[in-house]
Amino acid sequence: GFKNPTVNLAFSAPSLDMADLGLHAPGREVKATKVQGNIALKDNNLQIKSLSAQIGKSIATIKGSVQDISNPKIDIAVISPYLDMKDLLLLLDLEKPAVKTGRQRSVNLKASVRADMGRIREFDFEKLTTTIMAENRIVYLQPLEMTVFGGHFSGKCRLDLGTNGSPPRYQLGYTMERV
């Protein structure tokens, strides 16, 4: 019999509702379009050979791994021609419904991100590079570098996305040159 099989899956879909994967954003529907992927599952670990999709206006290609999908530790690289931060924050709101304990499972994320251009609120940027680390609804972007307003922005950011209805809190330290 099969003792420890590896399952390889290549797939594509014109549209994918995140709820179909058991992921929900409170009060919102999140859909990915133009989905294509090639992944492998072995020993409760997921290897993402390639995964591309569009969410909102953001387009991304992802490679990396998810260790222990029951209590995910995600380490990925994201490359994007266009990235809108509101789309990214929508993804960070995705949760699996609580199981019998009533507590949400913790997701540990580390993502190196590179985007040719995009938008943060009302500000357009180019040449974004950052590392995103997230756990327990606290998100760090450090370092965070980009071209904005015709100059160079460098900094780090901490986002506390809040829990149980508490408002989000933001901390930002930065330098700007030639702006």
Q: How far apart are CA 91 and CA 89, in angstroms?
A: 5
Q: N- to C-terminal Cα distance for the chain?
A: 65
3-state secondary structure of 13: strand
Q: pLDDT for 18-50, tens place per residue?
A: 989 888 877 888 999 999 999 999 999 999 999
* SS3 per residue for 135-179: ECCEEEEEEEEEEECCEEEEEEEEEECCCCCCCCEEEEEEEEECC
Q: pLDDT for 52-86, tens place per residue?
A: 999 999 999 999 999 998 889 999 999 999 999 89
Q: pLDDT for 76-129, tens place per residue?
A: 999 999 999 899 878 777 776 655 445 555 679 999 999 999 999 899 999 999
